[in-house]
Amino acid sequence: MEPLIQVRNLHYSYPDGTPALRGVNFELWPAETVAVLGANGSGKTTFLLHLLGLVGGKSEGDVTVRGLAVEKKNLTKIRRMIGMLFQDSDDQLFMPTVEEDVAFGPLNMGLAPAEVERRVRQSLRQVGMEHVGSRPPYHLSAGEKRRVALAGVLAMSPEMILLDEPSTFLDPPARSSLVEILRSLPQAQCLVTHDLTLARQLASRAVYFEKGEITLQGGVDDVIAQAGWEAPDGRRSGVLR
């Protein structure tokens, strides 16, 4: 079996010369969920953006998605295979209505209008948001926005999903609802989070970023313990402080 995503010795520096990624090696396998943990500024989001070819500037190393190198000529195919849920849903929801926003990806894929409408209905139903189709996205709550943003990703039928801090800004009910939806998805998922409970609920393994390097990997509990992220009194801490 081939990994869906394979990263070998990836190095990247920001345009000002600050190193962001230093020799990252990573694999994502079908149907698994990997938690990507690490402190702020450790390179997690930059790493995710690399998988979609969204980072400008020069990088070294190999990044392949289903055997395709992440380079300009393959980006259209790669972006159809990978869906990404961004940290701030307001960055992701830019069309005038929810329906149009969810349809944005499928229309860009060149699908027929009937198929686009089918996918829009199906993905909104999948996240329980079929009743807001005609509403403007900016009037939705944070939880609703997150679910609509996820519908926009699902409408493209990706093979894998990258999630950047999906539980940020969500209240407990919205968070629980998101967990249920993410659990029900068959796609492989790469979950960047500080929310340890979420990592434990969804991921089967974890990697830990430190100053642009993956310094720990293994079971979620082991990585959390080795990273010293457990609460001092031995209780399982919910969110990293």
Partner 1 sequence: MHPLAFERWSAGETRHHQLDARVKLLAALGLLLVIAWTGRSSAAAFGGYFLLLTSFLWAARIPLAGSLLRTFMVLPFVAGVVILNLWGGDPARAILTMARGMFSAYTAIALLSTTPFPALMRGLERLRVPPFLIMVLHFVYRYLFLLTNQAQDMLRARRCRAPEPRRRSRFWSASAGAVAILFARGYNRAERIHHAMLARGFESHFPVMHARQTPSADWWWLAGVLVLMAAIHVAARTWPL
Binding site for partner 1 (CB under 8 A): 49, 52, 54, 76, 79-80, 82-84, 86, 88, 90-92, 94, 96-97, 99-100, 103-105, 107-109, 113, 116-117, 136, 138, 152-153, 156
Nearer to partner 1, 182 or 223 (CB): 182
Nearest distance in Å: CB 229, partner 1:
27
Nearer to partner 1, 143 or 152 (CB): 152
Nearest distance in Å: CB 154, partner 1:
11
Q: Yes or no: say if 148 and 102 are a contact pair by the CB < 8 Å rule.
A: yes
Nearer to partner 1, 107 or 240 (CB): 107
With 0-12 CB in 10 A as exposed, 13-18 as middle and 19+ as buried, what is 99? buried
Nearest distance in Å: CB 31, partner 1:
22
Nearer to partner 1, 86 or 209 (CB): 86
Find residue 5's DSSP bridge partners: 28, 65
Nearer to partner 1, 69 or 231 (CB): 69
**Residue-wise burial string across 55-80, b where 16 or more C-beta atoms lie within 10 A, e elsewhere:** beeebeeebbbbeeebeeebeeebbe
Nearest distance in Å: CB 194, partner 1:
19
Distances (CA, A) of 229 to 127, 172, 194: 31, 21, 10
The Cα 200–Cα 6 span in angstroms is: 23
DSSP assignment of 92-132: H--SSSHHHHHHHHHHHTT--HHHHHHHHHHHHHHTT-GGG
Nearest distance in Å: CB 91, partner 1:
4
